[in-house]
């Protein structure tokens, strides 16, 4: 049996059972603190860009809020890369007029390897 503390973002194991199917609850009360899976580090490592317009018709604009250089890739929902711009810049303008209407994923990568993904809609 586990307890989740929303304020500290941790799980505590409260009761352990002896049998694999839980039919023999002979276990004793235990408490084990399990920390989160690095959410703070992940949040700090994201790229922090803005994308507009969304939905988009022909041209999509992507700009770093921090003035940090990045490159971009566009993928469909199957994970297939459709467009790549490997030049590191603080902003990008991408012509996506050739794409069919639908949902796509923009992957932004900084020089240090940190990434962020943003879903956008092509009208």
User: Could you report the per-residue pLDDT of 83-101, keeping only the tens digit for each?
Assistant: 999 999 999 999 999 999 9
Both structure tokens of 89: 């810049």
Where residue 61 falls among pLDDT bands split at 50, 70, 90? very high
Backbone angles phi, psi at 45, to 5 degrees: -90, -5
- Please name the residue that has the structure tokens 């469909």: 76
User: By percentage, how much of the chain surpasses pLDDT 90?
Assistant: 50
Structure tokens at 40: 């703070």
What residues does CATH 2.60.40.1220 cover in the chain? 47-122
Q: What local confidence, expressed as pLDDT, does residue 113 receive?
A: 87
What band does 47 get if pLDDT is binned at 50, 70 and 90? low
Alpha carbons 37 and 43: distance in angstroms, whole number: 11
For domain 47-122, give its CATH number from 3.30.1700.10, 3.40.50.300, 2.60.40.1220, 3.30.365.10: 2.60.40.1220
pTM reported for the whole predicted model: 0.62
Task: Return all residues near 66 (Cβ < 8 A) that are at least 6 apart.
Answer: 48
């Amino acid at each position: 049996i586990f307890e989740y503390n929303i304020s500290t973002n941790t799980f505590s194991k409260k009761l352990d059972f002896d049998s694999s199917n839980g039919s023999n609850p002979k276990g004793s009360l235990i408490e084990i603190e399990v920390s989160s899976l690095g959410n703070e580090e992940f949040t700090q490592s994201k790229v922090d860009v803005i994308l507009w317009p969304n939905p988009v018709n022909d041209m999509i604009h992507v700009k770093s809020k921090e003035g940090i250089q990045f490159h971009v890739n566009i993928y469909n929902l199957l994970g297939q890369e459709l467009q790549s711009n490997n030049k590191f810049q603080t902003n990008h303008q991408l012509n996506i007029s050739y794409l069919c209407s639908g949902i796509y994923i923009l992957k932004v990568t900084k020089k240090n390897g940190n990434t962020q993904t943003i879903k956008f809609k092509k009208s």
